[in-house]
């Protein structure tokens, strides 16, 4: 005789007990996420054990979080190894990051729709950069770990320069070889150095020519620094209005205080060649 705790439920009863539709239950069966305890070979009817009700309710709740079936399956699989809470916490963090990213994009879209006037744009100043020798260290990062990775790489660069007997002649900056995005992109730590009498091993040096540059400063409160994209946009628009061509990659320097991250972006430009 079947005990009440393990009796079989028809798909209709199981749907009522878990508040999952029969259509959803058939999909979860096909995905092997929530297979029935027994299928009648004659009728094809699905029957579920009452012991599966908690799992069904968990699946329903995870779906209400808008998790994908793949993510739900990872939580369910981890449940057997007592690691489900950790997996779920990681998924929630991804949801929160996505929400924050979408909210920032929403506000950025509002700014673009409202078409701010040039007068309201951040101040951009022209400056001249002298010819200089720089030490270069490549690395990769995305918009979220950019600040942390840049600082780590800049610290490693300064240690390398000390070991090589080179003297830094300025603060470290980061060349945005690739734009900062959700995906990892190529970046470079750039540190001006006093021109050495010999080229030391283990250090990559590059000679930068003198250049005209435009500079813009901004303060951001979050380490993902997605707000930098707006500053780079402003510089490019400034070039465009004057008929300049951007050259090289934008250089970003970063400082921190109680107000947040103070950044400065310097971008070299050259006069456009008149069309013939």
- Separation between Cα atoms, residue 195 and residue 135, nearest integer Å: 10
Q: Please name the fold of domain 4-91.
A: Multidrug-efflux Transporter Regulator; Chain: A; Domain 2 (1.10.1660)
- Separation between Cα atoms, residue 12 and residue 25, nearest integer Å: 10
SS3 content of the chain, % helix, strand, coil (to 5): 40, 25, 30
Q: What is the pLDDT of residue 1?
A: 42
Q: What is the pLDDT of residue 119?
A: 47
> What's the CA angle centered on 81, arms 78 and 83, to 5 degrees?
55
Q: Are 213 and 267 in contact (CB under 8 A)?
A: yes
Domain ranges of the chain: 4-91, 124-271
Locate 157 and state its tokens: 């660069």
Q: What is the pLDDT of residue 222?
A: 54
Q: What is the DSSP letter of 36?
A: -
Q: What is the DSSP letter of 35?
A: -
- Separation between Cα atoms, residue 177 and residue 185, nearest integer Å: 8
- Separation between Cα atoms, residue 164 and residue 198, nearest integer Å: 11
pLDDT per residue of the chain (276 residues) written in tens, 0 to 9: 445 557 899 999 999 999 999 999 999 999 999 999 999 999 999 999 999 999 999 999 999 999 999 999 999 988 876 688 999 999 999 898 888 878 877 877 876 777 655 445 568 999 999 999 999 999 999 887 888 999 999 999 999 999 998 989 999 999 999 988 878 899 999 999 998 878 788 899 999 999 999 999 877 655 456 567 778 888 998 998 898 999 889 999 988 766 667 889 999 999 866 555
Q: What is the pLDDT of residue 116?
A: 56
Q: What is the pLDDT of residue 255?
A: 82
Q: Are 249 and 175 in contact (CB under 8 A)?
A: yes
Q: Please name the fold of domain 124-271.
A: Multidrug-efflux Transporter 1 Regulator Bmrr; Chain A (3.20.80)
From the list 65, 50, 53, the residue with the least C-alpha distance to 19 is 53
Q: What is the DSSP letter of 81?
A: T
From the list 232, 272, 270, 230, the residue with the least C-alpha distance to 248 is 270
Q: Are 65 and 95 in contact (CB under 8 A)?
A: yes
What residues contact 201, with CB distance under 8 A and at least 6 apart? 164
Give pLDDT tens digits for 3-30.
555 789 999 999 999 999 999 999 999 9
At 170 the three-state DSSP class reads coil
Give pLDDT tens digits for 216-239.
987 765 545 656 777 888 899 899
Q: What is the pLDDT of residue 70?
A: 92
């Amino acid at each position: 005789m079947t005990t009440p705790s393990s009796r079989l439920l028809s798909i209709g009863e199981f749907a009522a007990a878990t508040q999952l539709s029969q259509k959803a239950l058939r999909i979860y069966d096909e995905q092997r996420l929530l297979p029935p305890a027994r299928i009648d070979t004659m009728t094809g009817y699905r029957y579920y054990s009452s012991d599966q009700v908690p799992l069904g309710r968990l699946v329903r709740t995870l779906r209400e979080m808008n998790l994908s079936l793949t993510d739900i399956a990872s939580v369910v699989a981890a449940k057997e190894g007592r690691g489900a809470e950790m997996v779920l916490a990681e998924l929630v963090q991804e949801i929160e990051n996505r929400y924050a990213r979408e909210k920032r994009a929403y506000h950025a879209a509002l700014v673009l729709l409202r078409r701010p006037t040039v007068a309201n744009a951040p101040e951009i100043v022209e400056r001249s950069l002298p010819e200089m020798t720089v030490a270069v260290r490549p690395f990769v990062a995305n918009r979220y770990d950019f600040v942390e990775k840049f600082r780590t790489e800049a610290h490693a660069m300064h240690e390398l320069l000390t070991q090589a007997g080179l003297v830094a002649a300025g603060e470290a900056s980061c060349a945005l070889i690739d734009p900062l995005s959700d995906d990892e992109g190529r970046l470079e730590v750039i540190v001006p150095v006093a021109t050495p009498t010999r080229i030391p091993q283990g250090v990559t040096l590059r000679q930068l020519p003198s250049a005209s540059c435009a500079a813009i400063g901004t303060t951001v409160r979050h380490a993902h620094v997605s707000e930098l994209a707006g500053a780079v946009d402003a510089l490019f628009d400034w070039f465009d209005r004057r008929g300049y061509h951007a050259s090289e990659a934008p250089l970003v320097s970063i400082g921190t205080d109680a107000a947040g991250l103070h950044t400065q972006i310097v971008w070299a430009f050259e006069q456009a060649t008149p069309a013939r």
